[in-house]
């Protein structure tokens, strides 16, 4: 599970805050999570570092080497949260290799590779929190590629937690439909959840002691 990249063991001298690497900080959920961690008393405890294909250092979930290089460049960190990752919907007639490939490369293996690269850098009690989705339990027509990825991620998290022998933790949040997303699609938002409510689950994963858990809502 370890890579050849050097793992730094020295904390940055300019801060004693816990460093949270957030992949997907510009999205609805990621933005809400960043707000929660940078507001009030938590702002004194956490330093949030947003990472993406355009950040410096760059992190591309579809490029395992970029993940390894990014973590090596950043030095020590305490928590990693992923609220990014792509997958596509497709009905039965369109279910070919391409329909599954994006989700397998980005949302599934992107988060798997990130977890394997991140855990060796974490201190005791540090955490990785991934993102799956409610379609793993409640699919609808056309959702097979997304449901497959979500279900696989949840199984991975339950299993990988058994292989980490200390207090470093891996969990996954499984959000339902976000109200703002439903509104943007012209659908009734009353059956959705707020991005703020979902973001609170990630905070719970960071601050709690659970491991190998699926935090659904």
Query: What is the 3 state secondary structure string of 81-122?
Result: EECCCCCCCCCHHHCCHHHHHHHHHHHHHHHHHHHHHHHHHC
Query: Who's near 37: CB < 8 A, 6+ residues apart?
Result: 20, 43, 46, 48, 203
- From residue 65, alpha-carbon distances to 23, 60, 83 in Å are 16, 9, 20
Half-sphere exposure of 178 (CA within 13 A, CB side): 17
Q: Are 72 and 6 in contact (CB under 8 A)?
A: yes
Q: What mean pLDDT comes out for the span 95-122?
A: 97
Q: How far apart are the first and last CA of the chain?
A: 31
What pLDDT is recorded for position 13? Answer: 39
What pLDDT is recorded for position 3? Answer: 42
Share of the chain above pLDDT 70, in %: 93
Share of the chain above pLDDT 90, in %: 82
Taking the C-alpha atoms of 61, 64, 69 and 75 in order, what is their torsion angle to the nearest 10 degrees? 70
What pLDDT is recorded for position 1? Answer: 44
* 18-216 to CATH, choices 3.30.2320.80, 3.80.10.10, 3.40.50.720, 1.10.150.120: 3.40.50.720
Residue 193 has pLDDT above 60, yes or no: yes
pLDDT in tens, 143-173: 999 999 999 999 999 999 999 989 999 999 9
- Rounded CA gap, 40 and 45, in Å? 10
What pLDDT is recorded for position 15? Answer: 66
CA angle 72, 74, 79 (to 5 degrees): 100
In angstroms and rounded to an integer, the radius of gyration of the C-alpha atoms of the chain is 17
The domain limits of the chain are 18-216
What pLDDT is recorded for position 186? Answer: 82
What pLDDT is recorded for position 56? Answer: 95
What pLDDT is recorded for position 2? Answer: 39
Question: pLDDT confidence of 62, banded at 50, 70, 90?
Answer: very high
Q: Are strands 169-174 and 46-51 parallel, antiparallel or unpaired?
A: unpaired
Query: Who's near 155: CB < 8 A, 6+ residues apart?
Result: none
| Full strand arrangement of the beta sheet holding 169-174 | 46-51, 18-23, 79-82, 127-131, 169-174, 214-216
Query: Does residue 20 sit in helix, strand or coil?
Result: strand
Beta partners for residue 171, in sequence order: 129
Average pLDDT, the chain: 92
- Cα 44 from chain centroid (whole Å): 23
pLDDT in tens, 6-51: 343 334 434 689 999 999 999 999 999 999 999 999 999 999 999 9
Q: What mean pLDDT comes out for the span 64-80?
A: 97
Q: What mean pLDDT comes out for the span 114-140?
A: 96
- Rounded CA gap, 130 and 214, in Å? 9
- The model carries a pTM of 0.90
């Amino acid at each position: 599970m370890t890579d050849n990249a050097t793992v730094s063991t020295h904390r940055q001298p300019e801060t004693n805050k816990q460093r949270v690497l957030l992949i997907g900080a510009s999205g609805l959920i990621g933005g809400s999570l960043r707000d929660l961690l940078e507001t009030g008393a938590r702002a004194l405890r956490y330093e949030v570092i947003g990472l993406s294909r355009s950040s410096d250092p760059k992190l591309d979930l579809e490029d395992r080497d970029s993940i390894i290089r990014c973590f090596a460049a950043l030095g020590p960190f305490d928590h990693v949260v992923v609220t990014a990752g792509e997958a596509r919907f497709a009905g039965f007639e369109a279910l070919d290799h391409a329909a599954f490939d994006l989700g397998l490369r980005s949302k599934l293996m992107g988060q798997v590779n990130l977890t394997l690269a991140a855990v060796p850098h974490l201190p005791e009690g540090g955490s990785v929190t991934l993102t799956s989705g409610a379609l793993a339990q409640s699919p609808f027509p056309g959702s097979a590629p997304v449901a497959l990825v979500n279900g696989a991620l949840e199984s991975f998290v339950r299993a990988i937690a058994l292989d980490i022998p200390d207090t470093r933790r891996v969990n996954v949040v499984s959000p339902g439909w976000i109200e703002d997303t439903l509104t943007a699609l012209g659908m009734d938002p009353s059956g959705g959840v707020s991005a703020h409510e979902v973001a609170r689950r990630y905070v719970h994963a960071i601050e709690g002691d659970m491991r190998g858990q699926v935090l659904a809502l």
